[in-house]
Amino acid sequence: MSDVEERVKRVIAEQFGVDPDELREDMTFAEDLMAESIDIVELIAALEEEFGIEIPEEEARRNRTVGQAIEYMKKKLGVS
Amino acid sequence: MDLGIGIDILDLEKFRKAVQKHGRRFLKHILTQNEIDYCMKFKDPIPHLAARFSGKEAFIKALGDAGDWSPSWRGIEIISTNGRPILKFDVKTRDMLERLGVKGVDVSLSHSGRYVVAVAVIRKVD
């Protein structure tokens, strides 16, 4: 697991109160993690704090699954 | 004329904790600077800030499926005129709403105890 992937999973796990090892890439925020909109805003803010970057909410909200969020952050940070 | 309706409920204490934890970094994603400045004038700005976010969520639900497009929270602004909330939109959002045939929008906000609720109604032509 890459450093970015591990950090993104840790932030997601903290936000939704789950163990990072329980997160699967196909899990959806809306159904599997029961995310409300406010959770998504908090997650965006927490990822910004973790990585020290700005994340446009219009872009971030297109990520429906944990895997999509990881890939989005990797692309955003310029790592493969 | 078609009608779309959307409702939202938000836990004020959850919202308060998010603001305490992330501050303006959280607020800037969901509210315009005008909205933040207006709400910060109140002794406890949290119910006012939360109600605006809830109103935007109700509006987005009332809009329903808009294809690949979803309005940005910051492209929507809720201002108070004579105590009545009015929805305003930035140019990009207004253009998209026109393309979707939206002719009018209304929103109502309320709070009691630890919850805020919002209802939005959209009138549109096919």
Closest by CA position to B83, among listed B117, B56, B48:
B48
Residue B88 burial class via C-beta count within 10 angstroms: exposed 0-12, middle 13-18, buried 19 and up: middle
pLDDT digits (tens, 9 = 90+) for A27-65: 999 999 999 999 999 999 999 999 999 999 888 988 999
Cβ <8 Å between A45 and B29:
yes
Complete domains list, chain A, with CATH? 3-77 (1.10.1200.10)
Average pLDDT over residues B25-29: 96
Average pLDDT over residues B100-122: 95
Cβ <8 Å between B21 and A42:
yes
pLDDT over 80 (residue A69): yes
Closest by CA position to B30, among listed B74, B89, B86:
B74
Tokens of A9: 């999973």
pLDDT over 80 (residue B66): no
Alpha-carbon separation of residue B11 from A68, B4, B14, B79 (angstroms): 28, 24, 5, 21
Q: Which of residues 22-81 of B touch A (CB under 8 A)?
A: 22, 25-26, 29-30, 53, 57, 70, 72-74
Tokens of B44: 């406890």
Cβ <8 Å between A41 and B14:
no
Q: Is B18 on the interface with A (CB under 8 A)?
A: yes
pLDDT over 90 (residue B114): yes
What is the value of ipTM here, to two decimals? 0.87
User: Domain count of chain B?
Assistant: 1
**Parent domain of B41:** 2-124
Q: What is the DSSP letter of A22?
A: G
